[in-house]
Amino acid sequence: MPVVKATAMTESLGFFLDSLSMGFMQNALFAALFSAVACGVIGSLVVVNRLVFLAGGVAHTAYGGVGLAFFLGTPVLPTTVGFTLAGSLAMGALTLTHRERSDTVIGVLWASGMALGVILLDLTPGYNVDLMSYLFGSILAVGTDDLYLMAGLNLIILVLVFFFYKDFLALSFDREFASARGAPVAFLHFLLLGLVALTVVMIIRVVGLILVIALVSIPPSLAGRHSSSLRAMMFFAVMWSLAFCLLGLFFSFVFNISSGAAIIAVAAMAYFLVISLGWLLRTLFRPHHQEEP
């Protein structure tokens, strides 16, 4: 029995590797790479700033943008980028001064963005099957135009994070010290939310807006466990999410399951495995938990 399974696995692997020569598959691989970079870099900032819930809110607000695009008949991804940016900046304005109340504000925008999307789609004549791909993602359906847009968004994200890296680090580590040193805290707050919006829209194509929150939080939190710097955390988070996307893609191929869910399932399993292993090692070698040098 195991032999049969192994053969089946090898066959699927062969089939998977064959499929890599096909256009849609190459698009999927590029999409995985681009989202991994955005997820790793921005996800790290999201995790250290404890904005995971906010990122989830931004992702669901994006559905309003999808609805708007279908309603107006405009290109989906650019319209969604615009709408989500506006939504996340609104969240930024509402959470800048009252950080303690931000969870309520995020909850409200989370649901209202979603509701707006549903209503706009109801009002749009005809029914578009493609809609499900925005909710649950479909990395295999990413077109070449989408890839160019994703590459462009990645470039923007990388340039801005490079330029403001020290400011983001100071802001994330110790907001009060950062403002006492004269860092443009309010500007950085909005900039970060804007970058979260861009990232979220990009990943929607890959795992869907409902599952975005996992890809933004799991790779960075795994990467942050032993990293000695924020930039190292970003790098390892990119590696983790690339691994999750590729493995998820492979499993979705082998078992004929949804790619978005497969990617998240791989990520979640890796997360629980690493957490339990870490706990086990700490319990076995108790006296001191040494950090990696």
| Residues contributing to the site for other proteins (CB under 8 A) | 48, 50, 162-167, 169-170, 172-174, 176-177, 179-182, 224, 227-233, 291, 293
Q: How far is the CB of 226 from other proteins (least distance, A)?
A: 8
CA atoms within 13 A on the CB side of 43: 32
Q: How far is the CB of 106 from other proteins (least distance, A)?
A: 20
Of 226, 230, 95, which is closest to residue 170 (Cα–Cα)?
230
Among residues 24 and 177, whose Cβ is nearest to other proteins? 177
Q: How far is the CB of 190 from other proteins (least distance, A)?
A: 17
Among residues 122 and 291, whose Cβ is nearest to other proteins? 291
Among residues 7 and 228, whose Cβ is nearest to other proteins? 228
Residue 13 CA: distances (Å) to CA of 10, 244, 256, 264, 285:
5, 17, 13, 20, 39
Among residues 100 and 176, whose Cβ is nearest to other proteins? 176
Among residues 229 and 283, whose Cβ is nearest to other proteins? 229
Q: How far is the CB of 97 from other proteins (least distance, A)?
A: 12
Q: How far is the CB of 51 from other proteins (least distance, A)?
A: 13
CB 17 within 8 A of CB 178: no
Residue 220 CA: distances (Å) to CA of 43, 115, 137, 167, 246:
6, 30, 21, 19, 17
Residue 280 exposed, middle or buried by CB count within 10 Å (0-12, 13-18, 19+): exposed
Contacts of 157 (CB under 8 A, 6+ apart): 37, 38, 41, 42, 195, 198, 199
Q: How far is the CB of 185 from other proteins (least distance, A)?
A: 10
CB 169 within 8 A of CB 234: no
Among residues 47 and 249, whose Cβ is nearest to other proteins? 47
